[in-house]
Structure 1
Amino acid sequence: MIVQRRAVTSVLAASALLLAAGCSSGGGDTPGGRSGSSSSTAPEASDSRQADGQPPPATGSVRVVRTVAADLKTPWGLAPLPGGGLLLADRDDGTITRIDDKTGKKTVLGTVPGVSAAGEGGLLGLALSPDHASDHLVYAYLTTDSDNRIVRMLYDPKKPSGEQLGAPDTVFKDIPKGMIHNGGRIAFGPDGMLYAGTGESGDRGLSQDRDSLGGKILRMTPEGEPAPGNPFGNSVVYSYGHRNVQGLAWDGRQRLFASEFGQDTWDELNAIKPGDNYGWPIAEGKSSDPTFHNPIAQWRTDEASPSGIAYAEGSIWMAGLRGERLWRIPLKGTKSSAPPQAFLTDTYGRLRTVVSAGGNKLWLTTSNTDGRGTPSKTDDRILEVEVS
């Protein structure tokens, strides 16, 4: 099985120790505050509807509280900081910007070197180290001239704007790249392991090839090694038969869910079981073939084209690009307990990323400047949304 990794250098480790010792709480990277997003270290666990016998109501609600920030260009990854504030990835420019979630003020941390933005590739998902409050490490999934890869960088808020990112250290590389289907979502699970959703880069055969990293969900240690307990021995492959995974989230019982782009017929939300085959390209959507793990919900591609997902209030919340809406999928265990419900349809345009803002609130980004949308004068935006 394929194992592509690079251990963190001793220089980076030493720098992390020095930075942790020298940084004060003035940078806002202190424990407390935001938690429970698909980019953070653990899901929300305070939902009173966690017991499988108590599913959420069949009908929910969504209220847009406010616009947090506007005039953003090709936003993709979004990671809430432990002490407040958001880190935002610009797909095309390859920059990471800190957004003050109270005032909307933008501070550019720096540009990630090596980003090759073309088609659907560029600087994509962001995730914070499980120990970010002390080690100040930011992980990023990016497209280069040769591959998709995961890097990590030190973030030093005490340095001037534009100089706050350390040199990237490659954690994992050689994920297939293409003009389409680069995947790109990364997240640390409640087990402290790093998960990545990849795409088959337009080469359908990669999805069923367990020796390929394309069309998979990968699970690895923070250093890029195959995680203990992975289903295929010394391999980072966790599940396969995917077309293009851009959403990862855990419910309050630490069960993993993933969204997936279909081709012409069905988009999917899947409950992920390690080692299972999710069917692409042989099956799109639900199948009668017992070889494949069927989705818990499916949509016509013009109603969804899903990217990010988050868990809140007993439901998975799924952002739709082509569908231009936010879907609510109420859960009972690893199944949908009621038909999915759509909100914000054709209101804010294409929706890319959704993460938990704690409790019953979400951060939601639009994606109208990505070359496929029709931007308004204030696009793109980050919205604060209240859900039930």
Structure 2
Amino acid sequence: MQSPPRRQYLLAIGASVATAGCLGRLLGDDLELATPENVPPDDWEQPDWEPPREAPVEGDVSATTVVSDLEIPWDLAFAGDDAFVTERDGGVTRFATDALSGEADLTPADGETVLDGDDLPDRAAPGEGGTLGVAVHPDYPDPADLFVYYTAETGDLSNHVVRYDRDGDDLEPIVEGIPGASIHNGGRIAFGPEGDLWVLTGDAEDPAATQDPGSLAGAVLRTTPDGESVAATPDWGADGDSRTYTLGHRNPQGIDFTPEGTPIVAEHGPQARDEISVLRPGGNYGWDVVRGGPDDPEYGNYDEYDAASPPIVNTGETTWAPSGLSFYADDAIGNWQYRLFAAGLGSNALYAVSLFADDPPAIESGVTFDASWLDDRFTAIAHSLFDGTYGRLRHVEPGPDGSLFLLTSNRDGRASGAFPRPGDDRIVRLEPA
């Protein structure tokens, strides 16, 4: 399968519109998509792996609640003997990796406070903001550096990425001035296979800003551990930000990488229309100009905007509300190997997404995403797991022993029905049955 040819695109001109998305606005002649002047080569490789051809099922794993009574956990990162958890209304807590991998019924008191919320300058937690993503330097513990994405208030709301040196007890800003708001702050950060730091930002209630290459809103940033641009980022021209890898994102909250190092991102859509995208350098993922295919009844479609980079999954009028994302390459849970997992908030489910570069099988009970307007590098087949079992799921993270860890988000004010339950929020370990 050949990747589609790269097109040359135009910088957005004409009037910007503050509201997100009616069809009449989307079809305006003066709305074009921002694109870079020069783009590094797309390093897409045909994968030599394939997920199992049988449906993943809950019976493939056993589930254990490892930690209870957390305050809206948001992210989890493993590094050697250490596992770091952020809580949106708090700071960063360390647990022993062995404890999360083998014990049960822990509480926050069994961990160690690494950073209190007050340790983060001007930290605020309005709505969806607060202490969000955490990542660990690839060479940890030398250097013993943690990276934290959080919301700050200094008159206006903004988001920052800081580096914390555990040995020197020093806190240093890495990326500042990311637009912030009570919603759509993005917030996931991760180190990629080449040692670069990837940062996901949201539109911060200003959808049109995602088409401005000079804004850090609605973008995927790729930087060095010092927050500087890298050679692999596109050239957006004199008015662009050299750290921007892709733009046109609404509220991305999940990122991980295939075994070849290809970045995959999950983001929240408007009125459902959630998306998973395999990123291309310099790609424009359409927000807030386009967010659907030719059959979408309300939003402009990718067929009419050649400059848009289409996703591999668009959920249409079905809500996933995907947050954390992990590509599971381990063979510990054999029937789950080489599948992409997305934690669902509004859907209260974990999604197993099988990616086939060649003709996909007919997998029982799965939903196949093979519309002609989608990115044809993969055909995605999705299965939902644990529907309603744990409530809202914020993140899914592979552990070093091949387990998968789920973070719930039932105390964030948006849970319903039986949630939150006593003991929420929690970390749940999934291991081979």
Q: Same fold (TM over 0.5)?
A: yes
Distance in 2 between residues matched to 1:331 and 1:342, nearest whole Å = 15
Give SS of 1:230's match.
Answer: coil
1:215 partnered with 2:218: yes
Distance in 2 between residues matched to 1:365 and 1:64, nearest whole Å = 16
Distance in 2 between residues matched to 1:301 and 1:368, nearest whole Å = 23
1:324 partnered with 2:335: no
Letter in 2 for 1:170: P
In the alignment, what sits opposite 1:306? 322
Asked if 2 retains the 8 angstrom alpha-carbon contact of 1:301 and 1:322, the reply is: no
2:408 to 366, 373, 379: 366
Give SS of 1:206's match.
Answer: helix
In the alignment, what sits opposite 1:56? 52
Distance in 1 between residues matched to 2:317 and 2:140, nearest whole Å = 37
In the alignment, what sits opposite 1:43? none
Asked if 1 retains the 8 angstrom alpha-carbon contact of 2:203 and 2:209, the reply is: yes
1:355 partnered with 2:397: yes
1:381 partnered with 2:429: no
2:189 to 183, 186, 189: 186
Deviation of the 1:337 alpha carbon: 4.0
Letter in 2 for 1:78: L
What do residues 210-242 of structure 1 show as CA deviations (whole Å, max 9, x unaligned)? 111000000000001011221126600000110
Distance in 1 between residues matched to 2:411 and 2:62, nearest whole Å = 21
Deviation of the 1:153 alpha carbon: 0.6
In the alignment, what sits opposite 2:145? 137
In the alignment, what sits opposite 2:136? 128
- Mapping of 1:162-311 within 5 angstroms? 166-232=169-235, 235-286=242-293, 287-288=302-303, 289-300=305-316, 303-311=319-327
Give SS of 2:141's match.
Answer: helix
Distance in 2 between residues matched to 1:338 and 1:187, nearest whole Å = 23
In the alignment, what sits opposite 1:27? none
In the alignment, what sits opposite 2:114? 109
What do residues 236-291 of structure 1 show as CA deviations (whole Å, max 9, x unaligned)? 00001100110000011111100010011400010001101101111113421322
Asked if 2 retains the 8 angstrom alpha-carbon contact of 1:297 and 1:336, the reply is: no
Matched pairs, number = 330
Distance in 2 between residues matched to 1:141 and 1:96, nearest whole Å = 14
Deviation of the 1:386 alpha carbon: 3.6
Asked if 2 retains the 8 angstrom alpha-carbon contact of 1:329 and 1:336, the reply is: no
TM-score of the aligned structures, taking structure 1 as reference length: 0.80
Distance in 1 between residues matched to 2:317 and 2:426, nearest whole Å = 23
What do residues 281-340 of structure 1 show as CA deviations (whole Å, max 9, x unaligned)? 111134213221111112256531010000111111000000100001111348444521
Distance in 2 between residues matched to 1:219 and 1:95, nearest whole Å = 23
Distance in 1 between residues matched to 2:187 and 2:432, nearest whole Å = 26
Deviation of the 1:57 alpha carbon: 1.6
Letter in 2 for 1:205: A
Asked if 1 retains the 8 angstrom alpha-carbon contact of 2:93 and 2:111, the reply is: no
- Cα distance change of structure 1 residues 202 and 265 upon mapping to structure 2, 3 Å threshold: same
What do residues 95-131 of structure 1 show as CA deviations (whole Å, max 9, x unaligned)? 4343531333322223132221111111000000111
Alignment RMSD, CA only? 2.1
Asked if 2 retains the 8 angstrom alpha-carbon contact of 1:79 and 1:86, the reply is: yes
- Cα distance change of structure 1 residues 210 and 138 upon mapping to structure 2, 3 Å threshold: same
Letter in 2 for 1:385: L
Moved more, 97-106 or 315-324: 97-106
1:74 partnered with 2:81: no
Asked if 2 retains the 8 angstrom alpha-carbon contact of 1:362 and 1:387, the reply is: no
Distance in 2 between residues matched to 1:266 and 1:298, nearest whole Å = 6
Deviation of the 1:387 alpha carbon: 7.0
- Structure 2: give runs of 5+ residues left out of the alignment: 1-45, 294-301, 329-336, 358-375
What do residues 177-235 of structure 1 show as CA deviations (whole Å, max 9, x unaligned)? 00110000000000100000100101011111111100000000000101122112660
Rg: which structure is higher?
2
- Cα distance change of structure 1 residues 321 and 301 upon mapping to structure 2, 3 Å threshold: farther
In the alignment, what sits opposite 1:44? none
- Cα distance change of structure 1 residues 90 and 55 upon mapping to structure 2, 3 Å threshold: closer
TM-score of the aligned structures, taking structure 2 as reference length: 0.72
Letter in 2 for 1:67: T
- Cα distance change of structure 1 residues 378 and 302 upon mapping to structure 2, 3 Å threshold: farther
Distance in 2 between residues matched to 1:303 and 1:375, nearest whole Å = 20
- Cα distance change of structure 1 residues 300 and 366 upon mapping to structure 2, 3 Å threshold: farther
What do residues 157-184 of structure 1 show as CA deviations (whole Å, max 9, x unaligned)? xxxxxxxx92421011000000110000
Letter in 1 for 2:86: A
Give SS of 1:207's match.
Answer: helix
